[in-house]
Amino acid sequence: MINIDSPVSPAPPKVEVSNLNFYYGDKHAIKNVNLTLPTNKITALIGPSGCGKTTLLRCFNRMHDLYDGNRYEGEIVLDGQVNILSRRIDPIEVRMRVGMVFQRPNPFPKSIFENVAYGLRVRGEKNKSFIADKVEEALKASALWDEVNDRLKDMAFNLSGGQQQRLCIARALATDPELILFDEPTSALDPIATRNIEELMDGLKKQVTILIVTHSMQQAARLSDYTAFMYLGEMLECDRTEVIFKHAAQLRTRDYVSGQFG
């Protein structure tokens, strides 16, 4: 089912998922998924609600480990080296390499500066000027610097929803992750804030690989290089975005992207 060998851009794989199964207790939520995320590309996960997109996304930073009764089978291999689902790998180690941005902006009830600096503090970074540089860099990369550089000590909650989400992106960027997971990052935002975030993500792929879950097919079409279509826990199809949207191999994919069901 994987078919990501395009003549245009043969990007090397950043992450390779093979035979991934995931269980919530007895519920078999992800069924035998195979997927490759090409380096410095945006891959979108689409599919009807309840198909397991978010569940799959949360496997990439072992978020499911926070709750009892969850079980992974199969492999998610980073850089062709480590299987991040291995029991020998600590989920903390995975989360230090893979960042995440959530559906609703969830800044910490701390200052703007401290929000962005938190990842560095977690890693034991003490050098104040290094932290300040990193915070500035991350805020610039998330296109927030010009709006907040004069009030870094303000509480993060004083920002607007779109600004808060960009702050959450800056927070994830500050620690130089190799992969960032976006879980419907614009579903709680207005159209203008959504456009800002999309432009931002498009720029970010120069430095980081991106996996995004979206329920908006327009967003997937506008933003992503590759699109994977999921249905009932299975990965039906994954290909270059224009192929999925124009010449999908499977009938169900064609029906979904043309809005016939969802």
Partner 1 sequence: MATSISSPSSSTPLSPIQLSVIQRKRRSNLFSAAGIVSILIALMTLIALVLQLFIQGLPKLNWQFLTSFADPEASLAGVLAALVGSCLVMLVTAATAVPVGIGAGLYLEEYVTRNKFSALIEINVTNLAGVPSIVYGLLALGLFKYYFSLGESILTAGLTLALLVLPVVIVATRESVRAIPSSLREATYAMGASKSQMVFDHLLPYAFGNILTGVIIGLSRAIGETAPLVTIGALTFIAFLPESPIQSSFPFISFEWLKAPFTVLPIQMFNWVSRPESEFQVNAAAAGIVLLSLTLMMNSIAIYLRYRIQKSLKW
Binding residues vs partner 1 (CB under 8 A): 61, 63, 66, 68, 92-93, 95-96, 99-100, 102, 104, 106-109, 118-119, 121-123, 155, 157, 168, 171-172, 175
In the beta sheet, which residues pair with residue 43?
211, 226
Phi/psi of residue 183, nearest 5 degrees: -105, 95
52 vs 107, beta carbon nearer partner 1:
107
182 vs 226, beta carbon nearer partner 1:
182
124 vs 191, beta carbon nearer partner 1:
124
Closest approach, Cβ 46 to partner 1, in A, equals 22
Contact 45, 57 (CB under 8 A): yes
155 vs 243, beta carbon nearer partner 1:
155
Q: How far apart are the C-alpha atoms of 232 and 240, rounded to whole Å?
A: 21
Contact 175, 7 (CB under 8 A): no
Closest approach, Cβ 139 to partner 1, in A, equals 16
Pull the structure tokens for residue 117. Answer: 């600096």
Closest approach, Cβ 150 to partner 1, in A, equals 20
Closest approach, Cβ 157 to partner 1, in A, equals 5
Q: How far apart are the C-alpha atoms of 84 and 73, rounded to whole Å?
A: 11
47 vs 107, beta carbon nearer partner 1:
107
Pull the structure tokens for residue 58. Answer: 């949360």
Proportion of the chain in helix, strand, coil states, percent, rounded to 5: 35, 25, 35
Pull the structure tokens for residue 74. Answer: 């199969």
Q: How far apart are the C-alpha atoms of 5 and 74, rounded to whole Å?
A: 23
The residue among 178, 35, 15, 4 whose CA lies nearest residue 82 is 15
76 vs 100, beta carbon nearer partner 1:
100
Output Rg (C-alpha) for the chain, integer angstroms: 18
Closest approach, Cβ 203 to partner 1, in A, equals 22
> How far, CA to CA in Å, does 249 sit from each of 23, 28, 212, 237, 255?
28, 26, 22, 8, 11
Closest approach, Cβ 58 to partner 1, in A, equals 9
Closest approach, Cβ 199 to partner 1, in A, equals 23
124 vs 259, beta carbon nearer partner 1:
124
